[in-house]
A and B are shown apart, each in its own frame.
Chain A
Amino acid sequence: MTIHHAPEAFGYDSFLAAHQHKEVLRFIACGSVDDGKSTLIGRLLHDTKQIFDDQITALQRDSRKHGTQGAEIDLALLVDGLQAEREQGITIDVAYRFFSTDKRSFIVADTPGHEQYTRNMATGASTADVAVILVDARAGLTRQTRRHALLVSLLGIRRVALAVNKMDLVGWSQDKFDSITQAFDAFAAPLGFAEVRAIPLSAKNGDNVVLPGAVVPWYRGTPLLQYLEEVPVRVEEQAAPFRMPVQWVNRPNSDFRGFSGLVASGRIAPGDAIVVEPSSRTSTIARIVTADGDLPEAREGQSVTLVLSDEIDASRGSVIAAADAPMRVTDRLDARLFWAAERELLPGASLLAKIGTVTVNAVVTEIRTRIDLETGSPEPAARLVANDIADVSLTLDRPVAVDAYRDNRDTGGFILIDRETTDTAALGLVQPEVEAKAKDEPAEARAAKSGGGFLSKFRWVFGGI
């Protein structure tokens, strides 16, 4: 792993060849308030030479004023950019940071640990491929750790690095590390992660962050950065069926009519059969147009303009989908909400729902259950307050095309907008249809059927994931 690019060793052609084919990995860093998230990100930036001299100078000045590391420079101040954060020594809002190695580019969302900023954490998690969950080796798993693992799982992140931080403060005790790892594995078993990778490290000293720690002979795994360089990205999105919400109809003249959008998942080629939802009219792809010329294929992550073989009706809000994997078209949604607004949500509330590129009126017909983030169990709720997570039923004023969130984050995720304040009041996750049918049955009955107890309640909560 070479990170520093010495000017004398710089060969542009080889550099370009390597960089042009680099992928990007988006990850979030989360954990309890003092577990050292910002310090860890500061360390990643610092050790991959992304921090400039003038920023170090500013950092030294700011560390004297706001730092929490005594005389040493406080790397956390690199990421806590807002004045209120520096003054309070906490992260309030999600911060995006960028660094790259020879293998990958990284976009990091540094997310707040405080409960009142859950919506900001959910924002960071919604587009992340991987979550780095920090644990303070001295404290072990806390309520916050469990909450964040749950949130990460709810938002569909399948791969987790459990960064057991401050190992230097427990003398790099393998017993301590093993007991934390085992406790996390037991807790996370029902959460549906594809992989949990536990790494002992010290963000403050840099051991096992970018470079292996010489002080940990018993740990034979990779440092955190190497894990992030090697973990698979966007596997599910590439394998999912073709979906493209139409953003904009491009009609420069009477000879051209194309549907512009970002491919949410899958791939498509000219000649492929498609269906336009929610009208369910079918056609085939005639051309895939870009400013660089027509493409032989479009895939997840590309912004393209599709020309269809037939003059069928499609407009902003329509979704073009693979004909052999049609979407669900419905005006009733069962959804899991992350309620973000300060005002309470009561049944009967009317909001705007923005789903992909369509905005419709939505009425909350029922608040079914709220999820207790400490125990993971569903409980009855008459109203929701800020940062509650709950399952609700919505009625829309017209049918829309959706997928279950667990199958497709982009066509299964939506936001609710408060008409009065125009603020984003909630993040919503479309639940699968099967669960919707079973909803008349009380939650307790279902939990009892699958064996009862704490874990079965989890399984019920995560039945949708």
Chain B
Amino acid sequence: MSAASPTLAATRSGRLTHLQRLEAESIHIMRETVAETENPVMLYSIGKDSSVLLHLALKAFAPGRLPFPLMHIDTTWKFKEMIAFRDARAKELGLDLIVHTNQDGLDRGVGPISHGSEVHTDVMKTQGLRQALDTHKFDAAFGGARRDEEASRAKERIVSLRTAQHRWDPKRQRAEPWHIYNMKKKRGESLRVFPLSNWTELDVWLYIEQEGIPIVPLYFAAERPVVERDGQLIMVDDERLPLAPGETPQMRKVRFRTLGCYPLTGAVESPAVTLPEIIGETLAARTSERQGRVIDKDGSGAMERKKQEGYF
């Protein structure tokens, strides 16, 4: 935790900053969920938002231990550095980490290159998540989604009900006034809880800087081997990415604004090697962070459809 204690500083100055209010709101949401559900879990995707979510959870229950496990849905196509980071953090913090892979999908050889982004995401991510939630009988799952990411997310409640089939019904959302969250549900139904709903990409970066939160090194610029695919710079993270005859990966100084499956995640060329430089780029950015996500481009309303099908 930061030694500079911004909490103390702002208390003296007499009013709370935006980041302090966001932090307090997120902590409140996590405590409500733990108090009102039977078996919560935190979905841990290893990205920067998950890193912030984990940091907030540690704060929410300090000096006590984290009262829920973390779960990673491993599609087997994540960047190697992400997996290394995940395992190192779990060990360092003594986390109860569940890693789940859709074995059926794996056996069928489903992947983003052979089957395309839509099938891969559906089988390895959406179905994988549903399997894992059902297997462990989790009735609430924290996710790091933010409302500024995408138009249908901007409309979703902080506490979002899912049917027994994990479907989201955007037309049947509960009123969510003040700081009161309705966590009641029928047998088999479950909740998705988004404590970072009101954070923006910039808030996340400022908070990572302020609190000194560890993140995957892929967020910082470095020389990495990339190839160009449909206007996106795709990193050649392992030998599974097919190259055209005579094609060789180029070393370019790149970083990632979001992290997912490596063949589906575009890099941006950047010289930013420090958090202040990343924040500077975020402020000056002319494209949204999800621009690097191939899966969002499966047509207008793609995310809303995926969410209805049980995607996080």
Interface residues on A, range: 35 or more
Q: Is the CB of A247 within 8 A of B31?
A: yes
Q: Closest residue to B280 on the A side, CB-wise?
A: A10
| Complex interface: stretch among B86-94, B120-128, B147-155 | B147-155
With a CB–CB cut-off of 8 A, which chain A residues contact B153?
A: 81
Q: How far is the CA of A298 from the CA of B27 in the complex (A)?
A: 15
How many chain B residues touch the partner (CB < 8 A)? 81
Q: Which of B153, B154, B286 has the most CB of A within 10 A?
A: B154
With a CB–CB cut-off of 8 A, which chain A residues contact B294?
A: none
A90 to chain B, nearest CB (A): 13
Q: Is the CB of B287 within 8 A of A54?
A: yes
- In this assembly, does B197 line the interface, its C-beta being within 8 Å of a C-beta of chain A? yes
Question: With A19-B206, A247-B35 in contact, is A417–B63 under 8 Å at CB?
Answer: no
Interface residues of B in 235-282 (CB under 8 A from A): 276, 279-281
Q: Is the CB of B147 within 8 A of A82?
A: no
- In this assembly, does A292 line the interface, its C-beta being within 8 Å of a C-beta of chain B? yes
B128 to chain A, nearest CB (A): 26
| Complex interface: stretch among B11-19, B95-103, B104-112 | B11-19
Q: Is the CB of A96 within 8 A of B177?
A: no
A215 to chain B, nearest CB (A): 30
With a CB–CB cut-off of 8 A, which chain B residues contact A78?
A: 151
Of the candidates B17, B280, B288, the one whose C-beta lies within 8 Å of that of A20 is B17
A412 to chain B, nearest CB (A): 9
Interface residues of B in 211-241 (CB under 8 A from A): none
With a CB–CB cut-off of 8 A, which chain B residues contact A251?
A: 64
Using a Cβ cutoff of 8 Å, how many contacts connect chains A and B?
218
With a CB–CB cut-off of 8 A, which chain B residues contact A262?
A: 24-25, 27-28, 179
Of the candidates A21, A107, A264, the one whose C-beta lies within 8 Å of that of B17 is A21
- In this assembly, does A22 line the interface, its C-beta being within 8 Å of a C-beta of chain B? yes
Chain A 119-163, CB-CB to B under 8 Å as 1, else 0, gives 110110011000000000000000000000000000000000000
With a CB–CB cut-off of 8 A, which chain B residues contact A301?
A: 16, 20-21, 24
Q: How far is the CA of A247 from the CA of B186 in the complex (A)?
A: 23
Q: How far is the CA of A356 from the CA of B25 in the complex (A)?
A: 14
Q: Is the CB of B154 within 8 A of A81?
A: yes
Q: Is the CB of A417 within 8 A of B182?
A: yes
B88 to chain A, nearest CB (A): 21
Question: With A10-B280, A52-B286, A296-B11 in contact, is A427–B63 under 8 Å at CB?
Answer: no
Interface residues of A in 81-96 (CB under 8 A from B): 81-84, 86, 92-96
Q: Is the CB of B288 within 8 A of A302?
A: no
Q: Which 7 A-B pairs have the closest CB atoms?
A: A81-B151, A126-B177, A252-B64, A291-B59, A12-B276, A303-B27, A291-B62
16 A-B residue pairs with CB within 8 Å: A7-B281, A20-B210, A52-B286, A82-B152, A82-B304, A84-B170, A96-B154, A127-B178, A248-B31, A261-B31, A292-B5, A298-B11, A302-B7, A303-B23, A357-B35, A422-B189
Which residues from chain A sit less than 8 Å from chain B, CB to CB? 5-7, 10, 12, 15-16, 19-24, 52-55, 58, 61-62, 65, 78-84, 86, 92-98, 100, 105, 107, 119-120, 122-123, 126-127, 247-248, 250-252, 256, 260-262, 264, 289-293, 295-299, 301-303, 316, 340, 352, 354, 356-357, 409-410, 413-415, 417, 422-424, 427
